[in-house]
Amino acid sequence: MTILTMITHPTLIHGKAVAFATALLMLVVQGHAQDMATLTDTLTVDNAVAIALQNHFAIKAAQANVVSAEAGKRVVVSTYLPAIGFSASSVHTEGTFVFNPSIASKYQIYSNYTAGLTASQLIYDFGKTTNRISANTDFVTASKEDFRTARDNVITNVEVAFLTYLEDQDVVKVTLETIAQAESHLKSAKAFYSVGTRPLLDVTRSEVDLANANVASIRAKNQMEVARLQLENAMGIHPDHPYVVYAAVTMPPMTITLDSARSQARSNRPDILAAQSRYDALSSLASSAWDQHLPTLSANGTWNWSGFDVTLYGRWSAGLTFSFPIFQGFGINAAAQQASAIAEAQRAALVLTIENALLDVEQNYLAVNEANERYGASVKLVEEAEASLTLAEKQYSAGVGTLLDVTDAQVLRANARITQIQALYDYNNSLVRLKMAMGAMSSDQY
């Protein structure tokens, strides 16, 4: 079944959302996102996702964390490079100097000038710096996977908000159809009453049915408005002028098996990959903490110039420094123990992340199948409810049926239509969440 919807608020087309979002994300990250003014007349899946990725602060925060992690890695790598410094000073001295009691004091004026270069280079520290670099490399990887998680969450939230909005939109359509039917029944009841073939009670009951239909429609319209605000919030914008959206919601088949879905989640989910990278990083830091027991070898040198006038005299020195911590008050042991405990805690967090991910996959996989079966059953339910209403209306018009039969059939038809709508959107919502759970929202990297 395909439902085509024309509305005057933003939505997101599900169908090929992942493929379009992937291509457009690359444009956003590279700074080629479309101008906002061109996206507000007609909103589609590609520009809706692009708007969200361009404006949502979760994306901006994740990007900043990647930049921070990469800068932290460069800080540690700089340990391998030489450190060079320059200093200079000028001191003016003027006054009476007394050297010893046997020599008369002497008034002197002079200036002293000095300048110098210092350089140092780490030669070998038995793995301390290497492990820190490895740790920061893993932290960079984790931050990029966090970016993927944030991006996928934004895409998923936009799609789910879109589907929720379209669902509410279709429910509003059902309530409007119910109102139209109730008005038609009221008109018929008045006509029958005017010729004396039906009692006044039918007119009164028809008026009550119309009032109930209006109340249900008001409630549905308000829910649709709430869904619109949630969609705009998911995209990170709140346009102040109207725009049109055309959306087609279908039932795309799910061809993947549960085992394949679980396997893909293990290898592709960014939160699992981020947790694994953090565990690797913290393990490297634990090794680096223990390596503080080991010596460090470095080279250093200086070149100084000094003198009491414009002419400066130079001298230089160079040497090797070998340092070995003999006893640090058990501080190194405590730091190593602390780092190992932190790594072990992260290992537990990794296992928990994997378990939660697999549960997420299984729940959404079952939800997709359940919604699919429910939708198939609802198709027959709608057919029977339509036939029942048609029969009740014909019998009432022929004078052999009651208005109560028509009212009951009308309620059953509305409920059947809403049940079918809910099954359709539940299927698509669960499919979106399953893709998110598998880490399959998009395949491009940061």
Q: Which pLDDT score, from 0 to 100, does residue 4 have?
A: 35
Q: Which pLDDT score, from 0 to 100, does residue 26 have?
A: 38
Which residues on neighbouring strands pair with residue 85, listed in sequence order?
118
Summarize pLDDT for 158-183 with one digit per residue, the tens.
989 989 988 999 999 999 999 999 99
Domain segments of the chain: what residues?
3-85+126-295+328-438
Q: With cut-offs at 50, 70 and 90, classify the pLDDT of residue 245.
A: low
Mapped onto helix, strand or coil, the DSSP state of residue 270 is helix
**Residue 25: is its pLDDT beyond 60?**
no
Q: With cut-offs at 50, 70 and 90, classify the pLDDT of residue 31.
A: very low
**Residue 311: is its pLDDT beyond 70?**
yes
Q: Which pLDDT score, from 0 to 100, does residue 95 have?
A: 82
Mapped onto helix, strand or coil, the DSSP state of residue 113 is strand
Helix locations, 195-293, DSSP H = 200-235, 258-268, 270-290
Mean pLDDT across the stretch 129-149?
95
Nearest to 212 by CA among 394, 413, 407: 407
Q: Which pLDDT score, from 0 to 100, does residue 442 have?
A: 67
Q: Which pLDDT score, from 0 to 100, does residue 396 have?
A: 86
Lowest mean pLDDT among 48-62, 64-78, 230-244: 230-244
Q: Which pLDDT score, from 0 to 100, does residue 279 have?
A: 97
Higher pLDDT, residue 245 or 116 = 116
Q: With cut-offs at 50, 70 and 90, classify the pLDDT of residue 398.
A: confident
Nearest to 227 by CA among 3, 5, 11: 11
Q: With cut-offs at 50, 70 and 90, classify the pLDDT of residue 40.
A: low
Summarize pLDDT for 334-375 with one digit per residue, the tens.
999 999 999 999 999 999 999 999 999 999 999 999 999 999
C-beta separation of 403 from 205 below 8 A: yes
Mean pLDDT across the stretch 369-395?
93
DSSP states of 172-202: HHHHHHHHHHHHHHHHHHHHHHHTTSS-HHH
C-beta separation of 417 from 440 below 8 A: no
Which residues on neighbouring strands pair with residue 118, listed in sequence order?
85, 302
How far apart CA 409 and CA 385 sit, in angstroms, is: 7
| CB burial readout 39-49, b (16+ within 10 A) else e | bbeebbbbbbb
Lowest mean pLDDT among 23-32, 108-117, 137-146, 378-387: 23-32
CA-only gyration radius of the chain, Å: 37
Choose from 24-28, 127-131, 309-313 the range with maximum mean pLDDT: 127-131
Nearest to 9 by CA among 37, 39, 35, 43: 43
Q: Which pLDDT score, from 0 to 100, does residue 359 have?
A: 97
Nearest to 202 by CA among 410, 413, 404: 404
Report pTM.
0.78
Q: Which pLDDT score, from 0 to 100, does residue 260 have?
A: 95
Q: Which residues lie below 8 Å from residue 263, measured CB to CB, with a gap of 6+?
A: none
Q: How many CB atoms are closer than 10 A to CB 386?
A: 15
Phi-psi region of 439 (alpha: psi -120 to 50; beta: other; left: phi over 0): left
Q: Which pLDDT score, from 0 to 100, does residue 439 have?
A: 92
**Residue 404: is its pLDDT beyond 70?**
yes
Choose from 112-116, 189-193, 290-294, 416-420 the range with maximum mean pLDDT: 416-420
How far apart CA 439 and CA 437 sit, in angstroms, is: 6
Q: 374-380, long-range: CB within 8 Å, 24+ apart, which pairs?
A: 374/419, 374/423, 374/426, 375/1, 375/251, 375/420, 375/423, 375/424, 375/427, 378/416, 378/419, 378/420, 378/423, 379/1, 379/420
For 446, the token pair is 């940061």
**Residue 444: is its pLDDT beyond 80?**
no
- In this prediction, what percent of the chain has a pLDDT beyond 70? 88
**Residue 33: is its pLDDT beyond 50?**
no
Mean pLDDT across the stretch 76-80?
91
Q: Which CATH superfamily includes the segment(s) 3-85+126-295+328-438?
A: Outer membrane efflux proteins (OEP) (1.20.1600.10)
Q: Which pLDDT score, from 0 to 100, does residue 240 have?
A: 79
Mean pLDDT across the stretch 21-34?
36
Which residues on neighbouring strands pair with residue 83, listed in sequence order?
120
Nearest to 202 by CA among 214, 215, 186: 186
Torsion angles phi and psi, residue 238, rounded to 5: -140, 85
How far apart CA 50 and CA 36 sit, in angstroms, is: 10
Q: Which residues lie below 8 Å from residue 428, measured CB to CB, with a gap of 6+?
A: 14, 163, 249, 251, 252
Nearest to 261 by CA among 434, 17, 16: 434
- The mean pLDDT of the chain is 85
Q: Which pLDDT score, from 0 to 100, does residue 34 have?
A: 39
For 70, the token pair is 């990469």
Q: Which pLDDT score, from 0 to 100, does residue 99 have?
A: 72
**254 burial type by CB count under 10 A (0-12 exposed, 13-18 middle, 19+ buried):** middle
Q: Which pLDDT score, from 0 to 100, does residue 94 have?
A: 86
DSSP 244: B
CA torsion, points 67, 71, 72, 77, in degrees to nearest 10? 140
Q: Which pLDDT score, from 0 to 100, does residue 272 have?
A: 97
| Measured CA distances, 48 to 51, 106, 156, 231 (Å) | 5, 86, 12, 10
